[in-house]
């Protein structure tokens, strides 16, 4: 069975789905690994390293024509046309954001397994690409903020006197938020954070940050599967009324709040930005699904009254080597789950496989994606 590793063509994308070390382990498991020429170069993995691991360097059509194709981002139309019917595509496919691509893959007769819909269970934890890539994004977000801010992050004692540390507020304490907290703390900032999930308070405080307490009912992780759920309109208004004063007193706001399959909640309004001091920075990690800041524009830096609003969509690619290594290891663990004596088996009775499976045998099998395609709500 051949595993294809194509080059990623999305703008600014530098990651690769399989790294040489993982390719070598797959070869030892008697897979053939076909890597498109130059696929790993932008992530720091030259073709020679893949060849040394036992992989073959091939042209795009050969990689896309494999039995199993591992991608980081959804394939373009031209790439989908190279997939053969019956092939399996594994990766971050954005099925709830791009159901049109899902339909095209189903029409092509391709089975797709999307990491976005991987069940949030202990058994699936080692395959959790969303978490590994969110770790990279959260780390990068703190560095972006520190670079853009016109202040030092740490307190400094100098011959010119003592410089006070920067204050950073993290909105959303999932994996990306927690990594942003940890990185901002390591850089020396005074960090506070907020999340609507009750479990987040302990996690925030364990990193040495202050948890912001607001008069909004906290959500139980048991009810939401580890994700935040959309607030009722009245609760959302109450949240925004209270957040304003906390946003205003911070030099940096990093927002990471997202709700799967829904528009990201607006947490930083135009009025809040206008209440921040000139020179302050907002880094919005949720812009791909609408953004947490009302003024965010994808991959642009917006200057509003001296406050910079930065909304990058490619943060994991900023640390492409390590992001690719984590992605590839998550994928290797998934292969360990899928491979049986007869090869890779798509068992729709299995919780993990069924949760990830978006298309199978020419049909869209995920109910939420099917509803989107039919014009319903996710």
User: What pLDDT was estimated at residue 200?
Assistant: 92
Structure token pair of residue 240: 């925004």
193 neighbors 251 (Cβ within 8 angstroms): no
Instruction: Name 234's Cβ contacts closer than 8 Å, sequence gap at least 6.
Output: none
Query: Which residues make beta-bridge pairs with 41?
Result: none
Q: What does the alpha-carbon distance between residue 102 and residue 100 come to, in Å, rounded to a whole number? A: 5
Q: What does the alpha-carbon distance between residue 70 and residue 344 come to, in Å, rounded to a whole number? A: 14
User: What pLDDT was estimated at residue 120?
Assistant: 87
3-class DSSP assignment, residue 12: coil
Mean pLDDT of the region 102-110: 96
- Domain for residue 261, yes or no? yes
- Domain for residue 378, yes or no? no
Percent of the chain clearing pLDDT 70 (strictly above): 96
Same domain, 113 and 260: no
Same domain, 114 and 190: no
pLDDT digits (tens, 9 = 90+) for 245-273: 999 999 999 999 988 778 899 999 999 99
The radius of gyration of the chain's CA atoms, rounded to the nearest angstrom, is 22
357 neighbors 348 (Cβ within 8 angstroms): yes
User: What pLDDT was estimated at residue 24?
Assistant: 98
282 neighbors 293 (Cβ within 8 angstroms): yes
105 neighbors 80 (Cβ within 8 angstroms): yes
Same domain, 15 and 56: yes
Same domain, 14 and 46: yes
Q: What is the dihedral of CA 234, 240, 241, 245, to 10 degrees?
A: 160
- Domain for residue 108, yes or no? yes
Mean pLDDT of the region 291-306: 97
Domain around 271:
136-313
Same domain, 87 and 150: no
- Domain for residue 102, yes or no? yes
Instruction: Count Cβ atoms below 10 Å from residue 289 Cβ, excluding itself.
Output: 18
Same domain, 56 and 118: yes
What is the reported pTM?
Answer: 0.91
Q: What does the alpha-carbon distance between residue 8 and residue 108 come to, in Å, rounded to a whole number? A: 20
Same domain, 120 and 168: no
Q: DSSP code of 146?
A: H
Angle at 376 between CA 236 and CA 85, to 5 degrees: 125
Of 289, 313, 337, the residue that ends a domain is: 313
73 neighbors 8 (Cβ within 8 angstroms): yes
Positions marked active-site:
120, 125, 128, 131, 227
User: What pLDDT was estimated at residue 378?
Assistant: 44
119 neighbors 352 (Cβ within 8 angstroms): yes
pLDDT digits (tens, 9 = 90+) for 134-186: 999 999 999 999 999 999 999 999 999 999 999 999 999 999 999 999 999 99
Same domain, 108 and 169: no
Same domain, 155 and 93: no
- Closest to 170 (Cα-Cα) out of 295, 284, 300, 274: 284
Of 263, 294, 313, the residue that ends a domain is: 313
- Tell whether the model's pLDDT for residue 364 goes beyond 70: yes
Q: Which residue has the higher pLDDT, 227 or 91?
A: 91
Same domain, 304 and 338: no
Q: Please return the burial class of 53, using the count of CB atoms within 10 Å of its CB with bins 0-12, 13-18 and 19+.
A: buried
Same domain, 150 and 103: no
pLDDT digits (tens, 9 = 90+) for 14-23: 999 999 999 9
Phi-psi region of 290 (alpha: psi -120 to 50; beta: other; left: phi over 0): left
Same domain, 117 and 174: no
pLDDT digits (tens, 9 = 90+) for 80-90: 999 999 999 99
User: What pLDDT was estimated at residue 198?
Assistant: 83
User: What pLDDT was estimated at residue 9?
Assistant: 87
Number of compact structural domains in the chain? 2
- Tell whether the model's pLDDT for residue 216 goes beyond 80: no
CA 259 from chain centre, in angstroms, equals: 12
CATH number for 213: 3.40.50.720
User: What pLDDT was estimated at residue 19?
Assistant: 98
Q: DSSP code of 84?
A: P
Per this entry, what is the length of the chain?
Answer: 378
């Amino acid at each position: 069975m051949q595993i294809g590793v194509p080059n990623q063509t999305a703008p600014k994308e530098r990651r690769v789905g399989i790294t040489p070390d993982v390719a070598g382990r797959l070869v030892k498991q008697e897979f053939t690994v076909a890597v498109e020429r130059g696929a790993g170069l932008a992530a720091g993995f030259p073709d020679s390293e893949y060849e040394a691991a036992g992989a073959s360097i091939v042209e795009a059509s050969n990689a896309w024509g494999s039995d199993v194709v591992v991608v980081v981002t959804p394939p373009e139309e031209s790439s989908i046309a190279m997939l053969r019917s019956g092939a399996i595509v594994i990766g971050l496919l954005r099925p709830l954001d791009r159901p049109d691509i899902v339909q095209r893959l189903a029409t092509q007769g391709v089975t797709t397994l999307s990491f976005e819909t991987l069940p949030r269970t202990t058994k699936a934890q080692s395959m959790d690409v969303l978490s590994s890539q969110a770790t990279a994004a959260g780390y990068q977000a703190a560095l972006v903020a520190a670079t853009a801010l016109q202040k030092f992050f740490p307190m400094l004692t100098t011959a010119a006197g003592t410089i006070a540390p920067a204050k950073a507020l993290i909105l959303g304490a999932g994996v990306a938020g927690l990594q942003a907290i940890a990185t901002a703390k390591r850089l020396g900032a005074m960090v506070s954070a907020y999340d609507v999930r009750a479990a987040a308070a302990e996690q925030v405080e364990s990193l040495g940050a202050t948890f912001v307490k607001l008069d909004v009912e906290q959500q139980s992780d048991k009810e939401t599967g580890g994700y935040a759920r959309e607030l009722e309109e009245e609760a959302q208004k109450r949240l925004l009324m209270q957040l304003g004063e906390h946003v205003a007193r911070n030099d940096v706001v990093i927002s990471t709040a997202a709700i799967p399959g829904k528009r990201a909640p607006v947490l930083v309004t135009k009025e809040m930005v206008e209440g921040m001091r000139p020179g302050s920075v907002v880094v919005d990690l949720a812009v791909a699904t609408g953004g947490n800041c009302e003024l965010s524009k994808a991959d642009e830096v917006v200057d509003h009254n001296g406050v910079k609003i930065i909304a990058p969509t490619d943060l994991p690619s900023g640390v492409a080597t390590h992001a690719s290594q984590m992605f590839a290891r998550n994928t290797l663990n998934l292969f360990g789950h899928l491979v049986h004596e007869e090869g890779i088996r798509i068992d729709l009775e299995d919780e993990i496989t069924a949760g990830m499976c978006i298309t199978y045998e020419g049909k869209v099998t995920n109910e939420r994606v099917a509803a989107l395609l039919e014009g319903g709500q996710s």
